[in-house]
Structure 1
Amino acid sequence: MKVIFLALAFPKMDRNKYLYSQLVSQFHDNGHDITVVAPAYDETLTGLQIEEGVKVIRVKTLPLFGVGLIKKGIANILLPYQYKNALKKHDVGLDFDLIMTPTPPISLYGVAAWLKNKSKGKLYLILRDIFPQNAVDLGMLKKSGPIHFYFRRKEKKLYNTSDQIGCMSEGNIDFVKKHNPELDASKLHMLPNWGDIVPPAETSKIDELRKKEGFENKFIVIFGGNIGLPQKMENIVNLALACKAQKDILFLIMGKGNESENLQNLITEKKPENLQLRDGLPQKEYMLWVQMADVGLISLSEKFTIPNIPSKALSYYNTKTPILASIDRNTDFGKILDELNVGVWAEAGNTAALKEKLMLLYKNDQLRREMGQNGFNYMKEHLSANIAFNTIIEKTS
C-alpha cells in the first residue's frame, strides 16, 4: 500500500525509537511505501529527508512544545495548512491507500480529511488523547466556551471522517461511545499502546551505574517522561515526604515539561531529601536507569474524567519493573494492573493509600519480581509494534 503518517511528535528515526517510529518501521519493513509528515526539530533539516529508509517530510512550524497555551494553540491551528503546503511543495502524489494520524493533535483533522478526499484512501485514527475533554478536566479550557466548541466540532468531524479508530482500552471505547452517540460504534476497536522489547543491559552495567551514583544501598522509585499538568507531580512529592522515615528509599524524577519550573519550586519549598530531579535522557540511557530501579511510578491527575492509559508503562514492562500508580477514578488502568498482576495503585490525592501500596512492594522482593515478569511477558506477547501493525492492516483491508 501507499501510506502516509501525519505526526505531531516524531523524533529522528536514527536517534529515538518510540511508539510511532516503531509502527512506521513496521510498514516500511513489510514492503509498504510509507511517507511521514512531521515537524522539523532543526531549522537546517527541513523538507524531504530519508531516515532509515523512510521518507520523512520535515515541516517548519511555530513552536509546539514548551510554550504557553495561546502560542501552542496558534501553532496547532496553523499545522494543517503548513502540512498541506509541504505536500504540495514536494509534489507528493496524493494517491494514498491509507492515511494514519494520531491524537494529539486534533487540528490535523483538516489535512487528514483533505488527503482522504483527494486519494479516496482509508483514514485510520490512532486515538490517544481525548481532546478537548482532557483540557477541560485540567482547567485549560472552559467547557462550552467558543474555543471548546471549535475543538469539539473538530473532534466529532475527525471521528465521523475516520474509517477505523484504534483505542487504548475498553474504557476509552466506552467513553467515546457515551459522548458521541451518533458515531458508528463499529469503527471502534482495541489498539493498546505498543513497543518493541529493548534487550536488557548486563548486570555489571547496572552495578556500575548504582556505584557511580551512590545508590548501592538504595531502593529506587523512578518516574520518567513528561512533567506537566496531566502528571500531577505533587502526588509524587507528597509520597516522598510521607516516606522520609524509610532512609533507603530514593525517588527519582527524570524528564522535563511545562510544569518543570513549578515542580522545582515545590521541591525547593518542601525540601524532600529523598527525592532527586534529573533531566531527561535519550531512550537507551533512560532504559538503563529504569532497569536499575526497583519500582516504576505513574501519576495522573485526579481531575481526569477520561480513561487515560499511560504509555510510560511500556518501559516498566520492558525492564521487568513493577508499577506503582497514582491514578484518577475514571481510568481503567488500575483494572489492567490488577488483572495482569503487574503493579499496584491508589486513587490520586490519597497519599496514605499510595504509601501503603509502595510499602507492599518495598517489603516483598518476590512480589516485585513476579509482577515485573508478568509485565514483561504481557508486553512480549501482546504489545509488540508488529501486533499493532497487523491490527491496523486487518482493520483497513
Structure 2
Amino acid sequence: MVEIKNVKMKKILFLGLTFPDVKKNTHLYTDLIHEFHNQGHDVLVIAPDEEGRKSSELVIESGIQILRVPTLALFGGNKIVKGLSNILLSHQYKRAFKKHKIAIDFDLILIPTPPITLIDFAAWIKKKSKAKLYLILRDIFPQNAVDLKMMSNGGFIYNYFRKKEIKLYKQSDRIGCMSPANIDFVTKHNPEVDTSKLHLLPNWEKIHELPKDLNETAMREKYGLKDKMIAIFGGNIGLPQRVENIIQLAQASQELEDLVFFIVGRGTERERIKIMAEEMGLKNVILKGNLPRQDYNDVLAIADIGLISLNQDFSIPNFPSKVNAYYCFKKPVLASVDVNTDFGIIQEQIQSGFYSNAGDIESFKSNLLKLYNSKDLRTTLGQNGYMYMKNNLSPEQAYNTIINSFTA
C-alpha cells in the first residue's frame, strides 16, 4: 500500500451523480477516485446503478468499492422526472447506506455538483463521523437553470434549491472552484461564505496515449471524412452548450469546401440541431450520436480543431471540461462563449486557442480562419494546450490540491 502522507484522511466517501465502471468508460471523477485509491486511501463510492439492479448492492469495480443504488432516470429530456430524481437521490443513498450497515467512520467526504441535493445525506454523514466535507464545485445551481429559463428567479422551486445551495456552502469545509471567475461569482453572490474555504481546483483528466495503430484512411472512410479538415465538437448537446453557435459558423463557412464540422453527442437539443442543419441545407455538418470510445478517440486524433460552445445567456462562469480532451490530443481550441466566463481568456493566456463572444459569428469565423489557414499555428496551439494539461491538470495534481487544502 502506498504510504499516506496525511493519515487523518484515510477513509474517503465519494457521493456521485454518475460513476461508470472504468472498464467501460472514464471521466474526471473516476480518474480522481482511482488516484485516491492508488495513493493508499480506503475509498467508498456511492453512485447510481447502471446495470438495471432491483435493489442496492455493494460491489468491487476495478478495485474500488461502490454502493450501487437504483434510482429514477437522472438524465434525459423529461425535466419533471429528472428534477424529482435529483430530489429523491439523497434519501435513496441514505436508505441504501443504512441497509448495508456501513460503518460511519469516514475522514473525508467528497461531493461534486451537480447535484446539490446530496448535501442532506452528506451533512448527515459529516455529523455522525466528524468528517471533513470537500465540495467539488462544477455547477452553480439553481442560477444556471434561471439563466437558461428553465426556472424563474424567486419562485417556489428556485427558493427550494437555493436553500440547498446555501446549506451546501455552509456545510463544506473546503470548496474547489474551476476558475478565478467561479471564486468571484460565489463570493459576490454568497457574502456569508467564508472566503478562506474557496480555492482553485481546475478540471483534471488523465492523459491518454494517442492511438498507435490508427488506420486513418479507414476511419475517414467510415465517417465521411475523406480529404477533409475536421473541426470536432464532442459532448452533451443541450441548452448550456448552445450548439446553434457552431451550426451558424458552419453556415457562414460553406465556401471552405474541405472543412467539415463533426458534432458528436446526445442531449435535449440534439434533434432540434439536426433539423436546423437540415433546413439550412448544410453539407459541411456531420451529426453523430455517441460513438464507441475508441472511434471517438480515433476521430479526435485526426481532427484539426476542437470546438467549444456555451450559451450566451449564462451569468455564471462555466468552464467546459471537454477542453481537456482537446488538450490531451493536442488540438487547438476554437470557442464561442458567454461574456461572464473566463474560459476564453484563459485559453488565450496559455496560448491554446481563440475565443469570441457567443452570437458574434463574424468574430467566430475570423478565429476559425486563423486556424484554417495555418497548420503551424494549429500545431503550436495544440502543443501548448497539451503541455498546460500535463503540467497542471493531472488527477494527481487535483488529488494534491484537495488533500493539501486541509494541511496548509
The TM-score bracket by the shorter chain reads: over 0.9
Task: Provide the C-alpha distance between the structure 2 equivalents of 1:53 and 1:284, rounded to a whole number of angstroms.
Answer: 23
Task: Give the TM-score taking structure 2 as reference length.
Answer: 0.95
Counterpart of 2:293, as a letter, is: Q
Task: Provide the C-alpha distance between the structure 1 equivalents of 2:25 and 2:223, rounded to a whole number of angstroms.
Answer: 25
Three-state SS of the structure 2 residue aligned to 1:289 is helix
Task: Provide the C-alpha distance between the structure 2 equivalents of 1:283 and 1:214, rounded to a whole number of angstroms.
Answer: 18
Task: Provide the C-alpha distance between the structure 2 equivalents of 1:262 and 1:134, rounded to a whole number of angstroms.
Answer: 21
Counterpart of 1:17, as a letter, is: T
Deviation at 1:131, TM superposition (A): 0.5
Q: Note the residue ranges of structure 2 that are not aligned, 5 or more in a row.
A: 1-9
Q: Which residue of 1 aligns with 2:160?
A: 150
What's the CA shift string for 1:160-194, capped at 9, x where partnerless?
A: 11000000000000000000011100000000000
Q: Which residue of 2 aligns with 1:44?
A: 53
Task: Provide the C-alpha distance between the structure 1 equivalents of 2:188 and 2:292, rounded to a whole number of angstroms.
Answer: 39
CA spacing shift, 1:204–1:264, aligned 2, 3 Å: closer
Counterpart of 1:159, as a letter, is: Y
Deviation at 1:267, TM superposition (A): 2.1
Three-state SS of the structure 1 residue aligned to 2:335 is strand
Task: Provide the C-alpha distance between the structure 2 equivalents of 1:145 and 1:204, rounded to a whole number of angstroms.
Answer: 53
What are the equivalent positions in structure 2 for 1:293-332 lying under 5 Å apart? 293-332=303-342
Q: Which residue of 2 aligns with 1:186?
A: 196
Counterpart of 1:219, as a letter, is: M
Counterpart of 1:357, as a letter, is: N
Deviation at 1:101, TM superposition (A): 0.6
Q: Which residue of 2 aligns with 1:130?
A: 140
Task: Provide the C-alpha distance between the structure 2 equivalents of 1:90 and 1:285, rounded to a whole number of angstroms.
Answer: 39
Instruction: Indicate yes or no: 2:54 matched with 1:34.
Output: no
Instruction: Indicate yes or no: 2:186 matched with 1:173.
Output: no
What's the CA shift string for 1:117-144, capped at 9, x where partnerless?
A: 1110000000000000100000001001
Task: Provide the C-alpha distance between the structure 2 equivalents of 1:322 and 1:145, rounded to a whole number of angstroms.
Answer: 42
Deviation at 1:284, TM superposition (A): 3.4
Task: Provide the C-alpha distance between the structure 2 equivalents of 1:217 and 1:298, rounded to a whole number of angstroms.
Answer: 23
Tell whether the 8 Å contact from 2:53 to 2:70 is kept in structure 1 after alignment.
no
Q: How many residues matched?
A: 397
What's the CA shift string for 1:248-268, capped at 9, x where partnerless?
A: 010010010111121122122
Q: Note the residue ranges of structure 1 that are not aligned, 5 or more in a row.
A: none
Deviation at 1:203, TM superposition (A): 7.1
Task: Provide the C-alpha distance between the structure 2 equivalents of 1:214 and 1:148, rounded to a whole number of angstroms.
Answer: 45
What's the CA shift string for 1:296-332, capped at 9, x where partnerless?
A: 0000000001111100000000000001001000000
Q: Which residue of 1 aligns with 2:93?
A: 83
Instruction: Indicate yes or no: 2:77 matched with 1:67.
Output: yes
Tell whether the 8 Å contact from 2:77 to 2:267 is kept in structure 1 after alignment.
no
Deviation at 1:211, TM superposition (A): 4.1
What are the equivalent positions in structure 2 for 1:368-383 lying under 5 Å apart? 368-383=378-393
Task: Provide the C-alpha distance between the structure 2 equivalents of 1:281 and 1:5, rounded to a whole number of angstroms.
Answer: 28
Tell whether the 8 Å contact from 1:37 to 1:57 is kept in structure 2 after alignment.
yes
Deviation at 1:214, TM superposition (A): 4.2
CA spacing shift, 1:126–1:247, aligned 2, 3 Å: same
Task: Provide the C-alpha distance between the structure 1 equivalents of 2:298 and 2:204, rounded to a whole number of angstroms.
Answer: 20
Deviation at 1:281, TM superposition (A): 2.2
Task: Provide the C-alpha distance between the structure 2 equivalents of 1:233 and 1:204, rounded to a whole number of angstroms.
Answer: 29
Deviation at 1:202, TM superposition (A): 2.7
Task: Provide the C-alpha distance between the structure 1 equivalents of 2:365 and 2:376, rounded to a whole number of angstroms.
Answer: 19
Share of identical aligned residues, percent? 51
**CA RMSD of superposed structures (Å):** 1.2
What are the equivalent positions in structure 2 for 1:340-379 lying under 5 Å apart? 340-379=350-389
Task: Provide the C-alpha distance between the structure 1 equivalents of 2:133 and 2:247, rounded to a whole number of angstroms.
Answer: 42
Tell whether the 8 Å contact from 2:112 to 2:135 is kept in structure 1 after alignment.
yes
Deviation at 1:269, TM superposition (A): 1.8
Where does structure 1 differ by over 6 angstroms across 4 or more consecutive aligned residues? none
Task: Give the TM-score taking structure 1 as reference length.
Answer: 0.98
Q: Which residue of 1 aligns with 2:395?
A: 385
Counterpart of 1:15, as a letter, is: K
2:31 aligns with one of 15, 22, 25: 22
Counterpart of 1:143, as a letter, is: N
Three-state SS of the structure 1 residue aligned to 2:405 is helix
Task: Provide the C-alpha distance between the structure 2 equivalents of 1:166 and 1:147, rounded to a whole number of angstroms.
Answer: 26
Task: Provide the C-alpha distance between the structure 2 equivalents of 1:226 and 1:342, rounded to a whole number of angstroms.
Answer: 22
